[in-house]
Structure 1
């Protein structure tokens, strides 16, 4: 089937010869009465020529043939709005949104219909969603137009005297992160993963869409964390919570910022809140484990790292951090096992920087340092190593403690001092 008349009708419609286009689409439909697209295009030509009722009739015929055509629902909604049939127009636009929730134009039209119906609160919500989708699609012009509509509809600031005479406006429903397709979730994840430049470009638009959107403040807080601006980041996370964005991602990142500021207990409190919302988040357990390790509570740190590994058994960072904590509580064989597991995973991931860091820590446990080879008496060294189970890091730490308490003595003296202290403690 050549569809000659249909193609000719499309060309005439482009040239704004709507009468000629309608004639060609009509001839095409006489030859092919089940051609839904021809009804749609003839309906568009009728609409553009000002014959709205005929346009609605053609859209209806198109939908009889193709009930899932989103463009037809949108076009009929637009035509019905012109005819001031707002309820039917709203029904069409809702159908379009159900078919494809990411159809920005449908949300935009829904906002217009709600505004005409006097439902300003939900109109703003629809324009916000449209702007968010246009932003995601990098359609800056339509995003800007939606933002202008929002600004026009938002209530103007009132004086204290006049505000007493009117009832308060309802608070906008926040656009919560509810699915993987949510734009703000993607934007925050970009920032967390270090894609700062693109996140900042998009965030500029997002903050203009709604200056009271908690997700936007959360996103900016994540970016500021990446930039090392921890005080400003904490302020943004606080703002996100004030605007009712109570998501685990806020508490997690505020906890990280507080940890960087040295507020270890505050960080732990935030990680506790985050884990109440996401109790199976392995990354959160690692973060809380790091906070516990910073306070010197190595036992709780190892417990958190172990919990993280229950949910993500291939987390090399959790193994490495647990190795560090085990070293401090002198569980040296466990530390060695953790370091070796972390090294193996980092090697498989070709993460050579972390791989080398793990190997360096492993050597501290299993290889004697130069300082320990200096004493003249090899027998002293061997005796000390036997007393600490052969773990060099413990021996080094005990010698460093002795040097701190009794500065200025010889290496042999410190060696003897540590040996005597260990033997005395064991005999007591």
Structure 2
């Protein structure tokens, strides 16, 4: 019986499918083999091995493919072994191994390339170039051999031959456009900035999203003094790769050229936190050190403005350099920019404790009239200064020559002076005297130390000796400093020579520094002692307007208010005493002054309450106020008489 037609259909369909799959596998194998051979020719050996293995999965046991795979794996194994020798630095062994392989396969361009690299490592450039050239003859499409030879020509100072190799790669070889950046780098080194820029532009047309290319282009533009275009290139690079730390650094430098200091600071911080290599960090530190040294030299020559320019760059590039912040503060201080000096010294203190910056910040605070804060900083510096002196004295024991010993001795003397001055300004007078004696024992003509000794004697109330030391230091050539004259005036005033002291304070304001607030304060006191009250009031008012800190000093406000009261300027006095009481509502003399103002306005009940509070402090003596005209007027009131009797037990 014949089977129905339909019963034979499945076998026919299965056979057709099988033949179809077989044909597909055959085509796929052919494609894989072709791709494998192309990868091998391109020296992408790992990729070629993968493709050969895929072909064998579709066509197991294919002898030609197996043979190709074995040969390729031998090559990969050989290359792996030789790469290991390269890593170990066994270049002679590598040369011998390549030589043996070449004798067995003299037309293998890869072997000549490998041996040439080994010769290059041994700095046998002639042999290396010879092997690279042989590799090129064997395989004229061998771009890597051209590249290696071009690099070696560069190292051999034969830039024209290197350029010819890059020209050949780009113009003649497949995928030659990948070498535009290399040729751009070479042209840049040869001084052909225009050609280099054209090559970078050509490369970016091929790969516009390559952040490194935009970065390299930016470096070229930066070299060509085109900071704005360089910034645009670096910004493009960073938009493609926000972690490209060198681009932040380079853009920061470009911003600095444009004097955009704040933008530069942000970029340098990003660069440091972005993972620069040790070499790049060293470059940044070297650049910072260059500006630091230039600033240091400028300060030594008295050019504070130039020093400041360098120190701003130094701290931007290396913001953790404590010494740079200190010298930046010194430049601001010399320029009398005290607010910025204060900020710089404070930053130095934050970075490194203990620090010389405490001493220098104390000097700034003193200039600003912040005397309690200044005193605290000098006190903090005292143990630090002692450590610095000890370190300098240790250096004296290791000096190798008389000249070196002399230099160290001066450093020790300076250390003792600085320590003594800090102790003086911290009101540690006996300790200061001992330190300054040691400075003078080493350097017997140290004018600043001698002046400081005079200031110590002033603090110890040895006024005649203070005058002797201060005047002698002035003869020795101490810088024309208002603080020196102020101390001299204070000593004469303490001896009761008020008019002579007054002349010294006037000299300060007319000849040395017309904005020196402490001189106005002391001259005000002299005028008051001479009963020239309007002038006294004028000077203390001027002092308070010059220094913000003085305007927060209750004692000074009260002095001003009492002078205003004496001059019957009751409204102004009332405002001044109110300011003082807002700062310290129990201050005896501010309460007394406010009470007197109220009494002058016939507000007797209110004034009596404030008098009572003032007298209860125990800080006001009847002898100090009994001749006050307002008190004489108020004392006629029975309630005031009772208050006085109760308070002073008269």
Higher relative contact order (CA 8 A, sep 6+): 1
TM-score computed with the length of structure 1 as normaliser: 0.44
Give the greater-gyration-radius structure (CA).
2
Higher helix share: 2
